[in-house]
Amino acid sequence: MGTSKRGLRWAEPAGVLGRDIEMLVLGIDTSCDETAAAVLSDGRTILSSIVASQAIHSQFGGVVPEYASRAHMQLIVPVVTQALEGAGIEHGQIDAIAVTNRPGLVGCLLVGVSFAKALAYSLDIPIVGVDHMEGHVFASRLAQPDLRLPAVCLIASGGHTELVRVDAWGEYETLGRTRDDAAGEAFDKVGKMLGMTYPAGPEVERGAQGGDPTAFAFPRAMMRRGNLDFSFSGLKTAVRYKLADMGAVPRDDELKDFLASFQAAVVDALVIKTMWAAAESGVPTVVIGGGVAANGALRERLTEEAARLGVGVVLPPRELCTDNGAVIAAVGDALLTRGQRDGLALSVSASRETAARPL
């Protein structure tokens, strides 16, 4: 791929944006249960973004990896085709492909990466592997391209909850992370206890509307200043015991209060620690990403606290917080601009470490 005629475009003299012609990057994410593809122009303009959520998992209360891989196989071609159609371009106009290759379910990642490799090979264009979590950080860059760094980023998704100091795009320091469940996982598990289908986060948020967040006293764990780690398993257990005490799943107003109280416990921990992280590292701005960052109560509370403490806040649109191909394309564009690219030996990894090359 290093000799690709199109690949040379990144080496051309810098224009206003650091290059002189429009660059179209196709971003693909198949790391979990969403098949996503997007076309991004010049690292900042989203021409199209298609996300197909796999309904099959709802009946199982969580993602079934084998079903997810199979659904990706069925969805990847139509999703990419729709993304290209939405952008009004042909395959031949794509300049590079960015694909999530870590972290995630290996069988799922393999579908996206194998597809991306085949397409890159047939079009003779560069391919670059992207860290899904870095994609969540880049949602704020897409939302606000002139964002001044450093910033503290709260990444709260179904599999991860982390506080990261972003010194430059591509330069991160982890300040704290969950010791057990991720914030999204807590929403999903508590929703499941209440009979909701997976993923339960949006339904919990809807159900909590109009509820009293102080009605039930749910715990906030590890709330010692200086500790930027999270823990949500105690909250989950407290919810389980409370439900057992109540004898039946709450209904109507009581259900609203219950959900609002649970949501407030998660939001409190996330917001308070994000603001501590900003204060302790003397960083003037906080940003968010990951599926839980779509939660209205979190967004409202973070906005209030940031205003109170004089800290800037960037809340990317909800569709950029949840999994999508646009943020993957944005990371890919930044990597390619720095001259980085992967060859057809690109592999996948379940964890965040750079994916191992095949032997």
- Return the closest-CA partner of residue 293 out of 196, 201, 211, 179: 201
Give the residue, chosen from 181, 257, 323, 342, that forms a contact with ligand KG4 under the rule CB under 6 A: 323
Interface stretch with ligand KG4, choices 37-45, 210-218, 285-293, 309-317 (CB under 6 A): 285-293
Query: Does residue 316 touch ligand KG4 according to CB under 6 A?
Result: no
Which one, 7 or 176, has the nearer CB to ligand KG4? 176
- String of contacts with ligand KG4 for each residue 201-230, x by CB under 6 A: xx--x-------------------------
Q: Which is nearer to ligand KG4, 112 or 201 (CB)?
A: 201
Q: Is 322 in the site for ligand KG4 (CB under 6 A)?
A: yes
Residues from 328 through 357 that contact Zn ion (CB under 5 A): none
In 3D space, the residue among 289, 354, 336, 328 whose CA is nearest the CA of residue 102 turns out to be: 354
Q: Which stretch binds ligand KG4 (CB under 6 A): 200-208, 212-220, 225-233, 275-283?
A: 200-208
Q: Which residue is nearest to Zn ion (CB)?
A: 157
DSSP string, 24-93: EEEEEE-SSSEEEEEEEETTTEEEEEEEEE-GGGGGGTS--HHHHHHHHHHHHHHHHHHHHHHHT--GGG
Structural contact between residues 263 and 206, judged by C-beta atoms closer than 8 angstroms: no
Strands (E), 115-201: 127-131, 151-156, 161-168, 171-177
Stretch that binds ligand KG4, among 107-115, 171-179, 197-205, 349-357 (CB under 6 A): 197-205
Q: Which of 34, 181, 205, 323 binds Zn ion (CB under 5 A)?
A: 323
Closest CA to 23 of 126, 102, 136: 126
Residue 188 makes contact with Zn ion by CB under 5 A: no
Three-class secondary structure of residue 176 per DSSP: strand
Which residues from 142-171 bind Zn ion, rule CB under 5 A?
Answer: 157
- Distance between CA atoms of residues 151 and 287, nearest Å: 7
Read off the DSSP letter of residue 155.
E
Q: How far is the CB of 273 from Zn ion (least distance, A)?
A: 19
Binding site for Zn ion (CB under 5 A): 157, 323
